[in-house]
Chain A
Amino acid sequence: MSEASLLESEIVVTRRESAEGWLRDAIENFGQKGVNWSRKYSLFSYPFVTACCGMEFMSVSGPRYDIAQYGAEFPRFSPRQADLVWIVGTISQKQAPVLKRVWEQMCEPKWAIAFGACASTGGFYDNYTTVQGADMVIPIDVYIPGCPPRPEQVLDGLRLLQNKIKTESGRVMV
């Protein structure tokens, strides 16, 4: 068997790759899972509130529905200290550059939730002034439907995002 066909036929593992592979496996299996676990219960949120859904956001942040039980109760009113942006309300064409700038100021890793029908799709504002969903400006992880959504829906959306964070890989160092 020639050397070239040997290389094609099976994967040759050297001692060095074996050692690095062990380290990589350890990071992926233990490090990544541990980091994901800690990230999903300490989301520092930045509420980008532009419209009436903000009332429901206040409700879900308050003691009655108690978003603190999921570890996301801490609003930071600077995007540079936040890693989750809640887009709460209609995004107008005039607001789109502001939202993009806020998103670009946030450090990795970062996530975004579209809160309500307007932030998800533009809602019923199909006209000259409204962006048809915040995902035309920034990438969105979880969409919460409703006009406005009930606090239970919001908590469900947060749990969906936490499940997504739990299964993420390759984001240990960033």
Chain B
Amino acid sequence: MAQLVLDLLQKKFPDAVEEVSSAHGNETAYIKREAITDVALYLRDSEDLLFDMPIDCTALDWLNKKTPRFEVVYHLYSTTLKHRVRLKVRLDEADVEMASVTPVWPGMNWHERETWDMYGVVFKGHPNLKRVLLYEEFEGFPLRKDYPVEGRQPLIEMRPTVTVPTEKEITPEMLNRP
């Protein structure tokens, strides 16, 4: 059923759709970065498609595995026609930015802010692109693969930690039991 969506997309935008795939009912279309706003408006307004519900927006980081490094993923759903589609946009590491689809679907606002927060993807035209989960003082983007695993950035000074006695060193007095 959603194969119809991919066929319509390829028919309407033969240049902008780089590649399509369909596995286990997950219809995916790779879209060129420049065409995302046109494709989004077509998906929302065409009578055969009517994608009126933005499900999610996130990103992938293929560090040292694929070039270009980033992929931004959109999931969409139509509440009237009951079909879904997944859009992917490839972004190069040197220029991690693309047009926002928040003007098309206002519900993408926080999803795109989260993608900026975690992966540092700049959405041009977004009304309020700032961190949504982390704090403003945070430096870097934690879900990028080159962010250190223990890269903690505490907001206040932490108390010094003490060494915990091992099981053999614990005496009954330490347990303070009656």
Contact = CB atoms under 8 A, between A and B. Distances in A.
- Indicate whether A and B interact: yes
A137 B156 contact: yes
Interface string A142-174: 000000000000000000100110010000000
Interface of B: 134-135, 142, 147, 149-156, 158-159, 161, 176-178
Interface in A102-137: 126-129, 131-133, 135-137
Range, interface on chain A: 20 to 34
A94 interface: yes
A127 B151 CA distance: 7
Contact of A137 (B134, B151, B159): B159
B153 A128 contact: yes
Contacts, number: 49
A136 B154 CA distance: 11
B150 A163 contact: no
Q: Is the interface of B mostly helix, strand, loop or mixed?
A: loop
Contacts of B161: 132-133, 135-136
Q: Is the interface of A mostly helix, strand, loop or mixed?
A: loop
Given A93-B152, A94-B135, A129-B134, A137 B158 contact: yes
8 contacts: A93-B153, A94-B135, A96-B155, A96-B156, A127-B142, A128-B151, A135-B159, A167-B176
A137 B176 CA distance: 24
Interface of A: 93-94, 96-97, 100, 126-129, 131-133, 135-139, 160, 163-164, 167
